[in-house]
């Protein structure tokens, strides 16, 4: 059993009681809600005649269903309009702070909460969305919950949960030029597998992690769930504190000093005990692209897709299914695979630094005429920063469509969808069958820089060839 890790400390601090049956009752410091997984929870409160216990500990935004072309109300999609109306009504009725479209602070919930300074070290954070693990980048313990648990948090500010084990993933050395956080996390999931994290919190540590910016750290923690881990985190440091400083909801004046003092005391002890430790060399990681139907099925850009014989029996099964669905062959190169759609955005890679990196690749270049390319900023704030820097202009001039903020084609709940068996180069997080809106659509996950390179060439390319030119 782990001891004295950040996870242990934060868990113990938030433990309200031991429940009969062996799980713990855990206090949730920050609860984030959005339109998709909350309406039924509010409905359940009504059925049980319960109130929201601490309305000021819940913050809402709208992201999954929002259109990215025309956000004027009512939405063209009647069902989407009903969902945003339900959220507006519930927030008003229960006195919950809501960052709506046009507020200047709307966006993907996991982009918005950090940029508002809501996400802070040492907190427990829950949201009805599996990518809540993102917030672990700040040294908080953050995890996705289902709608019944959203109801529990609304009603009690606590949930029942079994304590997780802790696996440290120690990343030695540094990422090389043209290799990004997305490549590293895809590499980690490939090495450990998509279910290795079940029952674990992942602590990402080591020189390669410390060298990452806060936004890159969010990309890493965001995809913990793709490795099966409900929660991923990184010990906070000076980068963490300076990111939080002077944001809308960050502590101010004497509170800032007190917060800083406490945050600095929060990290895994040097002698802490982990349930498991994995070490890997980040300098060996190449730009990485998925070829299959799970985020674990990836290869380095210069490698071939695996032969079935090289895989374990259990992996062979899903690999065969993947090859059939993707219409690829074992041993085939990923490089050169033609793409139809290029998507930059999502809670994994829709932040300002992601847009900057992609724009740098696209500057003075044109998107292939065979490709439909679009960029969806992660939030209104990301969009306005990008415009100030002229990034929107670079994207537009290259042939990318510039859209309004939202989750968009990461999960295709709005009208941004693949058609037929189109192949997309996507900076999102899931390449599941049908994930991007077409039951036969095919998704290749990669970093935003790699999406930009694929857009220019009309095929999967090594972005390092653009950077060195």
Binding to another protein (CB under 8 A) within 251-310 occurs at 251-252, 255-256, 258-259, 262, 293-294
- Within 8 A by CB and 6+ apart from 440, the residues are 325, 420, 421, 434
Q: Which one, 44 or 211, has the nearer CB to another protein?
A: 44
Q: Which one, 321 or 389, has the nearer CB to another protein?
A: 321
Is the separation of the CB atoms in 391 and 350 below 8 Å? no
| CB atoms closer than 10 angstroms to residue 324 | 10
Q: Which one, 255 or 336, has the nearer CB to another protein?
A: 255
Out of 177, 270, 364, 439, the residue judged to bind another protein by CB under 8 A: 439
Out of 161, 185, 342, 444, the residue judged to bind another protein by CB under 8 A: 161
Q: Which one, 264 or 366, has the nearer CB to another protein?
A: 264
Alpha helices in 27-107 (DSSP H): 39-47, 78-94
Within 401-420, the residues that bind another protein by CB under 8 A are 411-413
Out of 249, 278, 308, 311, the residue judged to bind another protein by CB under 8 A: 249
312 binding another protein? (CB under 8 A): no
Tokens 């992201």 appear where? 63
CA distances from 300 to 36, 291, 306, 308, 331 (A): 35, 10, 11, 17, 13
| CB atoms closer than 10 angstroms to residue 89 | 12
Q: Which one, 262 or 310, has the nearer CB to another protein?
A: 262
Q: Per-residue contact track with another protein, 25 to 64, x per CB under 8 A?
A: x-x-x------xx-xx--xx---x-x--xx-xx------x
Q: Is 400 helix (H, G, I), strand (E, B) or coil?
A: coil
Q: Which one, 61 or 353, has the nearer CB to another protein?
A: 61
The secondary structure of 398-456, three-state, reads: HCCEECCCCCHHHCCCCCCCCCCCCEEEECCCCCCCCCCCCCCCEEEECCHHHHHHHHH
- Of 269-277, 300-308, 363-371, 425-433, the window that binds another protein (rule: CB under 8 A) is 425-433
Q: How far is the CB of 123 from another protein (least distance, A)?
A: 6
Four-point Cα dihedral 59, 116, 132, 49, nearest 10: -10
Q: How long a stretch of residues is the chain?
A: 469
Alpha-carbon distance 402 to 392, whole Å? 6
Within 345-404, the residues that bind another protein by CB under 8 A are none
Q: How far is the CB of 434 from another protein (least distance, A)?
A: 5
Beta strand 298-300 pairing with 288-290: antiparallel
Alpha-carbon distance 262 to 245, whole Å? 15
Within 318-337, the residues that bind another protein by CB under 8 A are 318, 321
User: How many positions of this chain bind another protein (CB under 8 A)?
Assistant: 91
Q: How far is the CB of 30 from another protein (least distance, A)?
A: 9
Q: Which one, 149 or 272, has the nearer CB to another protein?
A: 149
71 binding another protein? (CB under 8 A): no
Out of 12, 95, 198, 302, the residue judged to bind another protein by CB under 8 A: 198
Beta bridge partners of 60: 33, 98
232 binding another protein? (CB under 8 A): no
């Amino acid at each position: 059993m782990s001891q004295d890790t950040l996870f242990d400390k934060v868990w113990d601090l938030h433990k309200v009681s031991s429940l009969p049956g062996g799980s713990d009752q855990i206090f949730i410091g920050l609860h984030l809600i959005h339109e998709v997984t909350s309406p039924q929870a509010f409905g359940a409160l009504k059925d049980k005649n319960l109130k929201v216990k601490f309305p000021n500990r819940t913050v809402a935004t709208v992201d999954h269903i929002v259109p990215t072309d025309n956000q004027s109300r009512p939405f063209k999609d009647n069902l989407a309009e009903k969902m945003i109306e339900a959220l507006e009504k519930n927030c008003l009725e229960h006195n919950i702070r809501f960052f709506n479209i046009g507020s200047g602070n709307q966006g993907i919930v996991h982009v918005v909460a950090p940029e508002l300074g809501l996400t802070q070290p040492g907190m427990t954070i829950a949201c009805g969305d599996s990518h809540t693990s993102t917030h672990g980048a700040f040294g908080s313990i953050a995890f996705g919950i289902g709608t019944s648990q959203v109801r529990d948090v609304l009603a009690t500010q606590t949930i029942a949960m079994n304590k997780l084990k802790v696996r440290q993933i120690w990343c030695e050395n540094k990422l090389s030029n043209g290799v990004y956080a997305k490549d590293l996390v895809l590499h980690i999931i490939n090495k450990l597998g998509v279910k290795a994290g079940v029952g674990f919190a992942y602590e990402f540590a080591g020189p390669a992690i410390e060298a990452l910016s806060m936004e890159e750290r969010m990309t890493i923690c965001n995809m913990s769930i793709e490795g099966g881990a409900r929660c991923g985190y990184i010990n906070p440091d000076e980068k963490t504190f300076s990111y939080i400083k002077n944001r809308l909801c960050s502590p101010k004046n004497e509170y800032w000093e007190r917060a800083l003092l406490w945050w600095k005391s929060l990290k895994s002890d040097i002698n802490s005990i982990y349930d498991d430790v994995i070490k890997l060399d980040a300098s060996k990681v190449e730009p990485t692209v998925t070829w299959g139907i799970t985020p674990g099925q990836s290869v380095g850009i210069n490698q071939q897709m695996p032969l079935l014989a090289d895989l374990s029996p259990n992996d062979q099964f899903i690999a065969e299914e993947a090859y059939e669905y993707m219409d690829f062959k074992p041993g085939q190169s990923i490089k050169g695979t033609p793409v139809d759609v290029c998507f930059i955005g999502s809670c994994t890679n829709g932040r300002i630094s992601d847009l900057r990196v992609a724009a740098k690749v696209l500057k003075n270049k044109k998107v292939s005429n065979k490709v439909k390319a679009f960029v969806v900023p992660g939030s209104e704030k990301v969009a306005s920063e990008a415009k100030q820097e002229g990034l929107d202009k670079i994207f537009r001039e290259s042939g990318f469509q510039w859209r309004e903020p939202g989750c968009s084609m990461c999960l295709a709940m709005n009208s941004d969808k693949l058609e037929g068996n189109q192949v997309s180069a996507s900076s999102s997080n899931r390449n599941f069958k049908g994930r991007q809106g077409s039951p036969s659509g095919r998704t290749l996950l990669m970093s935003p820089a790699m999406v930009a390179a694929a857009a220019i060439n009309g095929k999967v390319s090594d972005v390092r060839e653009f950077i060195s030119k």
